[in-house]
Structure 1
C-alpha cells in the first residue's frame, strides 16, 4: 500500500525551469494542458526521483496532498515493497515500461486506503539536449472499468452456474427415473446403454425397463416421449409406471400398449410418444412384440449377421387406425423365433437420426455396427465378455463418436442363454479354505453376468457365514491369546446356490457340527459376522438342529446399466496385498483385495509397524478392498484404539458404495472419502 504521507517538501522546479522542449506555446500553456489531462501525469527529477511536477488528476489520488520536491520513496509509503521505486530506477537508466492493469495500493495522509488499477507508462524524461534528467509517468485509471468487467464476469459465471445446475437437475431427474440396475437371470443375458441428448434443455423422454416374470418370461419395454426437459421426463415417468404395472400384472405386449393409449387421454402431453413392448420366452427363444410408432427390433446372430423384425406399421400413442367402416383397429402383436446364439436389440430413434446422418443411412449403420459388436469384431481398446454388453456399449460409443447426439439414445439388448446350473460345493473346511469356496461362488455367478459390486457383496456374505461355521459349528473359537482365529480346525460344509427366474439367489450353507457359543469374555468388535451378512442380504435365516446348522440367505444381484450415474465403484478383486508409501509427510498404507480371517495376521502386523509414537500420520486406504471380514474389523478397531492412546493420527479411507465402506459404516468406524 502506498502511503502518501510525511512532511510536505519544497516547491521543486518552477514551471519555467522544467526542461520542456522548445516550441510553440508558453510553459504556462503547457502546464495548464498537463493539469487538464484526464490521465495521471507526474514528473520526477534526478536519481532520487524527487517530484518536479504533477497534474490535478494525480493530486486527486492523494486527496489534494502535494508532494512536490519530495522523494518518491518518502511520500509513496510501501512503494519499494510494491516494486515502484525499482520501476523508476530502470526508467532513469533509459528503460521504458508499459503496464496494463497495474494494481497499486494507496494510503492518503488522512488514512484513507484504496486500491486503484492503472494502465501506466513510465519512461525516461530528457532535457532539450537528450540527457536523462528524470522520469515521466503517465497513466489512466481503469479501476471502475475493471470492477465492472469483474462484476459482469461474475454475473456471467453465476448465470452459467445456474444454467448448468438447471440442466444438471433435468439430467439427474431423468437418470433417477431410469433403472440403474438390471436383473440377473438364469437363462437370459440383459444389457442397456443410454445417453442424454446434447440439446440446450438436456434430458428428454427416453426410457426402458426389463421385468422378469415368475413363469420365466422376460418382459421389456423401450419408449420415447416427444420433447425435452422436465416436462418430457415427467411424462416419461408416468408412462413407465403404467407400462410396468401392466407388465407386472402379466398382460401381453398389445394390452400394455393399449393401456398406454388410454393413459394419453388423461395426460395429453403423452400423445405421440412411441413405444415397443416385447416379451421373451427363453426356453422356446420366441419373442412377441407390439410397437406403437417405434422402430422395429433388430436381431443379431453373433457371427456378423443382422436382420430387422417386421415393423408393426402402427402409429404412435393416441393415434388410432380405423378400418373401412370407421372402427378402430386393435393394435396387433408380431412374433419371431431367435436362432441359437441370437439376441434382440430394442432402441430409440436417436441412434439412427444422428446429426448430419439421414435416417436411412443411420439405420444401415446401426445394423452393421451392432452386428460387428455382437461378433466382437469392432476391436475396441477394452472389450467386453458378453455380446449384449458389446452391442449396447460399443455400438453407442462407435456411432456417436463423430456425430454426437442431439436426442436421447437408448439401447436394450436381450439374449436367451443356457440355464445357469446350481452351485454345489461340499468340502472339509477350515479358515484357510474359505477363500477357495468364495472363489467358486464368484466364478459361478461371474462379473460378466452381474455387477462386480453385487458379486463383492455376495462374497462378503459367504465369507462371514463360513467363518461363523468354522468358529461356532466346529468350536474353533480361535482361543489364541491375541484374540485372532487360528487357521486350523473346521469340518464338513456344504454350500448350495440357486438363481431363480425372478433374479433372486438362494444361498444355503449347511454344516454338520454343534453350535458352540463363544466362551470367555466377549472380544470387542467380534460377533459381527451375522450382522454384516444380514446387512448385505435380503434375508438371512438360521436353523439349528442336532445334525448341524443350516443358514439360508436370499440375495438379489444386479447388473449396472451403461450410462447410469449411480454405478458403484469397482475395486479390483485379485488377491490380498498391502503396502506402505510415504508421501506428503504421511504414511499411506494401501490394502487390496479380500481381507478375510486368514489375512488378518498380516494386516495386523502392517498396522502395528505403522502405528508408532512419534512417526508421521497414517492413512489406511481401503478403497480397493473387496471383502472386509469381521475379524479384520476387530484388528483395525484394536489398532485404532492403540493409536489414539499413543497420540498417532490415523485416518481410514474408503469409497462410498463399496463393500468396505458399508461394513465400516455398520460398525461405526469413521472414514474419509477417497479420490
Structure 2
C-alpha cells in the first residue's frame, strides 16, 4: 500500500509554516548553478536580506566573495561530501536592517541533497548565529588578560627558546615593506625547526630567508639557530646568494641535526630584480593584479645531501608581493599537496588584492601573512610549523624636512609631523614611541640651551630612512650654546644635558656637533617591525585545533614481485620516523641488500622522512646495494620528492 506523502510529512502549508518558524537558519539550493530555492525567516534575518529565492550565492552575497564560504557550498555540490564550520568569522552587509557592514560568527553544516537515485541535485545549508557566544568569550578573554600574561611567563622553556632564536623584528626599509608570521605546531613538543630572516644589505638590497630543519624540539631549534646565524653572517658579508647557501650547505654536512634542512634564499634589489635559491624548499610565490604565480625551482636538494645548488633570477614589479613560506602551509591534513599549492596561490592573490575580508589600512604584506594563514588553516588545521615571509616593492617616502621658529611652541608641531611621517614609513610602535621622545628632547634642548641670537632664529629638523634601514634624524639650531639661568650651580649641573642623555638612551647612536654658527644633534636608530609569532588560537577561532591523531604507517611486503619490494601506506612524519628507520634497516639487512620502496600509499612526507630516505639512499650507494624509490606521478610522495630533488621512479 502506497502511503500518502501528506500523511508522512504534512501538507505543503503546514511544512512551510514549520520551515519558516524554525529558529535555526535553513536554506536549500538547486542544480549546478545552486540557485536558492528556499530560505527561512531565521536565515533571511541573520543575513539581512529578504529577497534570496531565485538568486545564486554569487548574486545574493557578492560582499562575502573571497571568504571561503561560497566556495565551500560549490565544493560540497561537486564532491558530494558534507563540510562543517565552527565559529566562522564572516563580514557582510545587512541591507534589510540598515546596519551596513557587520561581522558575525556562525556554526554551520553544508550537505549535498540527493535524488531517489543517489545523484547530487543540490545543497542544503543549516547554520546557527553564534556571534553572542563568541563575543561573550572574547569579553571573558579580555578580562582574563592578566592571568594569560602570568601563564605566558610560565610557558615551556622550549617555546621561549624558539622565540629567542628567531629574529625579534623585521627591518623597515625605504623601497620594500616586509612582514612575517610564524605559527607553532600544537603539542608539548611544539618548538620546531622553521626559521625566517630579513637581512638589509649595505648596497640597498635585502636578503629574505625561510628555512626548515628536520624534526621538532630543542635539538631542531638549536640546529635552526646555527644555520640562521651562518646564513645571515654570509649574506651581510657578501650579499651573494650562492656564497651564503654554500656556507650553510657545508655546515649541514657536518651534523646529523642539520642534515637535509631546506632553505629558500632571495636577494631583492631596489629595482625589483631578485636572485634566489630553493635548496629543497618550496618555490616563492609572486602575487599582484589579482593573480599569483610560482617562480620556477632553482634546482638542488636539501642542505648537506651533496646536491649542487643553482641560483635563478626573476623580477618583482612595483606593488607585487613576494611570499616565502615553509611546507607546513601546503602539507595540511586532508589536502593533496598539488591541490593545496593551487589553493595557496589563490588565497594569496585574494589577500593581496583585498577581495576577502575588509582590512582598511592594512598593508598588502600584512594581509599576505595574516589573512593567508587564517584562510588556509581554517578548514584543515595544521600539523607542522608554518612560516610566512612577505616583501612588497613600495614607493619610498620622501624625507621629512621642517623649518620652525626657535621657541617651545614648536614641540607639539614636531611631534605631530614626526608621528605622521613614521606611520607612513611603516615604523613599529616601539620605534615610534622612542623616536618621538628622543626628537622632542633634542628640539627642547635646542630651544632652551641654544637660544638663537636673532629674533628670526630657526630650528631645522631633517629625517630620512637609509637603504640599510637606519633612520637618521638631525635637529639643527642657528644659535649660541648658552648656560641656562639657574638659582644655583648645583641646579644647573643636575639639569644640564639630561635631555641629551635621554635622547641618547633612546637611539642607537647620538652625535653632537657645535660650531660658532649653531649646534646639530644627529641620532641614528635601526627601524624594525615585529613579526607575528602565533599559536593556533591566535590565528582564528574557526580553525580546528591541530592536525588530529597521528596515522599509522603500514609496511606491506609484496612477495609476488621479482625483486625485494615493500609498499608503505600512511604518513611519513615525525611520529613514524623511528619506525621507518627501523624497517629500512631490517629490510635491507643494515644497507647490504637492494630494496624497492613503493610510496604510492604514503599520505604525508615530512622533512624528517626526507632526511631518513636521503641517508638510506646514500648508504645503499656506498654499499652497492641500491635503495629504489617508487612514487607515481601526481602522488603525495612524488610531489615532495620532486621538490627536494630526491631521485625516484614515477612509473
Partner in structure 2 of residue 128 of structure 1: none
Which stretch shifts more, 443-452 or 541-550?
443-452
- 1: CA distance, partners of 2:371 / 2:406: 43
Question: Does 1:275 pair with 2:241?
Answer: no
TM-score, normalised with respect to structure 1: 0.54
- 1: CA distance, partners of 2:152 / 2:448: 55
- 1: CA distance, partners of 2:430 / 2:443: 20
Query: Given the alignment, which residue of 305, 316, 321 partners 1:338?
Result: 316
Contact 1:422 1:499 survives alignment (8 Å): yes
Contact 2:196 2:210 survives alignment (8 Å): yes
Partner in structure 2 of residue 353 of structure 1: 331
Partner in structure 1 of residue 218 of structure 2: 230
Partner in structure 1 of residue 166 of structure 2: 178
Query: Given the alignment, which residue of 452, 474, 477 partners 2:451?
Result: 474
Q: Deviations over 1:93-121 (max 9, x none)?
A: xxxxxxxxxxxxxxxxxxxxxxxxxxxxx
- 1: CA distance, partners of 2:305 / 2:467: 36
- 2: CA distance, partners of 1:519 / 1:237: 55
Query: Given the alignment, which residue of 426, 431, 436 partners 1:459?
Result: 436
Question: Does 1:309 pair with 2:309?
Answer: no
Structure 1: stretches of 5+ with no match in the other structure: 1-162, 322-329, 477-488, 566-675
Q: Deviations over 1:181-213 (max 9, x none)?
A: 111111111111111111341111000111111
- 1: CA distance, partners of 2:395 / 2:367: 19
- Whichever of the two has the greater Rg, that structure is 1
- 2: CA distance, partners of 1:563 / 1:316: 25
Partner in structure 1 of residue 177 of structure 2: 189
Question: Does 1:558 pair with 2:528?
Answer: yes
Per-residue deviation at 1:448? Answer: 6.2
State the SS of the aligned residue for 1:227. strand
Contact 1:388 1:413 survives alignment (8 Å): yes
Per-residue deviation at 1:429? Answer: 3.8
Contact 1:208 1:412 survives alignment (8 Å): yes
- 2: CA distance, partners of 1:432 / 1:251: 46
Contact 1:274 1:316 survives alignment (8 Å): yes
- 2: CA distance, partners of 1:563 / 1:492: 46
Q: Deviations over 1:490-520 (max 9, x none)?
A: 9411111121111111111111111221122
RMSD: 2.4
- 1: CA distance, partners of 2:468 / 2:483: 37
Instruction: State the number of aligned residues.
Output: 380
Question: Does 1:499 pair with 2:465?
Answer: yes
Partner in structure 1 of residue 276 of structure 2: 289
Partner in structure 1 of residue 58 of structure 2: none
Partner in structure 1 of residue 365 of structure 2: 388
Partner in structure 2 of residue 486 of structure 1: none
Q: Deviations over 1:14-54 (max 9, x none)?
A: xxxxxxxxxxxxxxxxxxxxxxxxxxxxxxxxxxxxxxxxx
Per-residue deviation at 1:286? Answer: 0.6
State the SS of the aligned residue for 1:269. coil
Question: Does 1:511 pair with 2:477?
Answer: yes
- 2: CA distance, partners of 1:392 / 1:164: 24
State the SS of the aligned residue for 1:505. strand
State the SS of the aligned residue for 1:353. coil
- 1: CA distance, partners of 2:424 / 2:296: 35
Per-residue deviation at 1:168? Answer: 2.0
Contact 1:205 1:235 survives alignment (8 Å): yes
State the SS of the aligned residue for 2:397. coil
Residues 164, 355 of structure 1: alpha-carbon distance in 2 compared, 3 angstrom cutoff: farther
Residues 404, 499 of structure 1: alpha-carbon distance in 2 compared, 3 angstrom cutoff: same
- 1: CA distance, partners of 2:466 / 2:355: 33
Contact 1:239 1:260 survives alignment (8 Å): yes
Query: Where do residues 4-403 of structure 1 align in structure 2 (5 Å cutoff)?
Result: 168-283=156-271, 285-301=272-288, 303-321=289-307, 330-380=308-358, 383-403=360-380
Question: Does 1:419 pair with 2:407?
Answer: no
Q: Deviations over 1:357-416 (max 9, x none)?
A: 221222122111111111112215x55531111101111122223332221111001122
Question: Does 1:544 pair with 2:514?
Answer: yes
- 1: CA distance, partners of 2:531 / 2:152: 24
Q: Deviations over 1:438-464 (max 9, x none)?
A: 222222222661101211111101111
Question: Does 1:439 pair with 2:444?
Answer: no
- 2: CA distance, partners of 1:550 / 1:251: 34
Contact 2:317 2:393 survives alignment (8 Å): no
State the SS of the aligned residue for 2:379. helix
Contact 2:397 2:425 survives alignment (8 Å): no
TM-score, normalised with respect to structure 2: 0.56
- 2: CA distance, partners of 1:541 / 1:165: 38
Query: Given the alignment, which residue of 357, 373, 385 partners 1:408?
Result: 385
Contact 1:220 1:277 survives alignment (8 Å): yes
- Structure 1: 4+ residue segments shifted above 4 A: 163-167, 523-527
- 1: CA distance, partners of 2:184 / 2:336: 20
Per-residue deviation at 1:475? Answer: 7.5
State the SS of the aligned residue for 2:283. coil
Partner in structure 2 of residue 428 of structure 1: 405
- 2: CA distance, partners of 1:279 / 1:411: 16
- 2: CA distance, partners of 1:183 / 1:409: 21
- 2: CA distance, partners of 1:490 / 1:203: 62
- 1: CA distance, partners of 2:494 / 2:335: 62
User: Structure with the greater relative contact order (CA < 8 A, sep ≥ 6): 1 or 2?
Assistant: 2
State the SS of the aligned residue for 1:220. strand
Residues 164, 441 of structure 1: alpha-carbon distance in 2 compared, 3 angstrom cutoff: closer
Per-residue deviation at 1:179? Answer: 0.6
Per-residue deviation at 1:560? Answer: 0.9
Residues 499, 286 of structure 1: alpha-carbon distance in 2 compared, 3 angstrom cutoff: same
State the SS of the aligned residue for 2:276. strand
- 1: CA distance, partners of 2:437 / 2:260: 48
